[in-house]
């Protein structure tokens, strides 16, 4: 096994920070660390433990796919380093956080013994996105809680597209839903989600499958997806197809300036609830009654 990794250091504006970070993970990054922060930009270190990944290609291809200016993302350097204990590195940053009124998200090594009024969602770090700390995950949890708690009729089923760590399905169980299905095209994420179901003593209470929304042909009360705009657009029809006529589509993972793009993509639906967190936005959408 190779005992080295690549360390790419960049300066990125706050507007592009999360899109760049998500892109790096899509390209195989193992971790990202903030080293410095100013008013309008951050210095980030991106770690690639797969030495076959070309950090320079990741950097250049980002400019080919997104309409940013050169000053929005600046290459500082790239170095080969000796491997770290990545789990110990993660433990430095992952601590319990309260989300909404009902949830506290925590790692297995730091489960609080207080806050009995909150449901503890235990998430073990892995390949699956969704430790609970990212603004888009926070939005998804808050929107899900608000919609379920504010519903005027019982809700039973939910489909989570891009389930990642399985955090939204675990929250759904605590909110009283009975039929829970998670989908992800990344097989290691499915294993991570199943591991988190076990940690939370929910083995066998939800289904997680490797695949996209085209794999399912069943109407759900809630279809939820915490994915970025470029990931939502190709599956927009399948997301809507899996909604009940009286159901809801909950979307997060896009920026405030992308909200109009989301509304255009899902023009047959009407937004009934909107929340923002930092630069991120999330909506609940339904058919007009």
Which of 3.10.290.10, 3.30.70.120, 1.20.1090.10, 3.40.1110.10 would CATH assign to domain 4-84?
Answer: 3.30.70.120
pLDDT band at 87 (very low <50, low <70, confident <90, very high): low
How many CA atoms does the CB half-sphere of 5 hold within 13 Å?
18
**What pLDDT does residue 253 have?**
86
Residue whose tokens read 């009654």: 289
pLDDT at 90: 63
pLDDT tens per residue, range 183-192: 999 888 899 8
Distances (CA, A) of 263 to 36, 86, 202, 206, 258: 35, 39, 35, 30, 9
Q: Does the pLDDT at position 94 exceed 50?
A: yes
pLDDT tens for 44-60 read 999 998 889 999 999 99
Distance CA 51, CA 3 (A): 10
Lowest mean pLDDT among 4-8, 126-130, 208-212: 126-130
- Band of the pLDDT at 1, cuts 50, 70, 90? very low
Residue range 188-217: average pLDDT? 92
Mean pLDDT of the chain: 89
Strands 220-226 and 270-277, sheet pairing = unpaired
Q: Is 40 exposed, middle or buried (0-12, 13-18, 19+ CB in 10 A)?
A: exposed
pLDDT at 86 over 70: no
Say what angle helices 167-174 and 135-149 make with each other, to 10 degrees. 20
Residue 277 is predicted with a pLDDT of: 86
Task: Name the superfamily (CATH) of residues 136-286.
Answer: Vaccinia Virus protein VP39 (3.40.50.150)
Q: How far apart are CA 24 and CA 155, in angstroms?
A: 37
Query: What pLDDT sits at residue 133?
Result: 74
The mean-pLDDT minimum among 22-31, 168-177, 250-259 falls in: 22-31
Domain ranges of the chain: 4-84, 136-286
Of the ranges 92-96, 161-165, 242-246, 262-266, which one carries the lowest mean pLDDT score?
A: 92-96
Q: Residues with Cβ < 8 Å from 264, sequence gap 6 or more? A: none
**Sign of the four-CA dihedral 199, 203, 205, 209:** positive
From residue 9, give the alpha-carbon distance in Å to each of 6, 36, 123, 135, 264: 10, 11, 28, 23, 36
Strand partners, 6: 48, 80
């Amino acid at each position: 096994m190779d005992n080295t990794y690549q360390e790419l250091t960049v300066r990125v504006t706050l507007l592009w920070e999360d899109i760049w970070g998500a892109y790096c993970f899509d390209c195989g990054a193992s971790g990202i660390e903030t080293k410095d922060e100013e008013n309008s930009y951050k210095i980030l270190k991106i770690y690639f433990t797969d030495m076959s990944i070309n950090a320079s290609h990741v950097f250049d291809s980002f400019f080919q796919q997104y309409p940013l200016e050169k000053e929005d993302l600046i290459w500082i350097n790239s170095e080969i380093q000796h491997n770290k204990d990545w789990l110990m590195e993660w433990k430095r940053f992952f601590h319990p956080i309260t989300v909404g009124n009902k949830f506290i998200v925590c790692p297995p090594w730091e489960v609080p013994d207080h806050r009995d009024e909150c449901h503890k969602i235990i998430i073990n770090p892995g390949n699956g996105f969704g430790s609970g700390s990212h603004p888009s995950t926070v939005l998804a949890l808050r929107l899900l809680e608000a919609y379920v708690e504010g519903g005027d009729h019982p809700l039973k089923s939910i489909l989570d597209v891009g389930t990642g760590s399985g955090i939204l399905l675990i929250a759904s169980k605590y909110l009283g839903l009975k039929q829970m299905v998670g989908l992800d095209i990344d097989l290691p994420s499915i294993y991570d989600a199943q591991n988190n179901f076990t940690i939370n003593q929910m083995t066998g209470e939800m289904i997680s499958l490797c695949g996209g929304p085209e794999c399912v042909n069943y109407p759900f009360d809630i279809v939820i997806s915490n994915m970025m705009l470029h990931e939502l657009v190709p599956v927009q029809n399948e997301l809507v197809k899996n909604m009940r006529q009286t159901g809801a589509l909950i979307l997060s993972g896009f920026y405030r300036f992308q909200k109009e793009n989301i509304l255009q993509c899902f023009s047959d639906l009407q937004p009934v609830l909107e929340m923002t967190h930092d630069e991120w936005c999330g909506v609940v959408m339904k058919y007009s009654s």
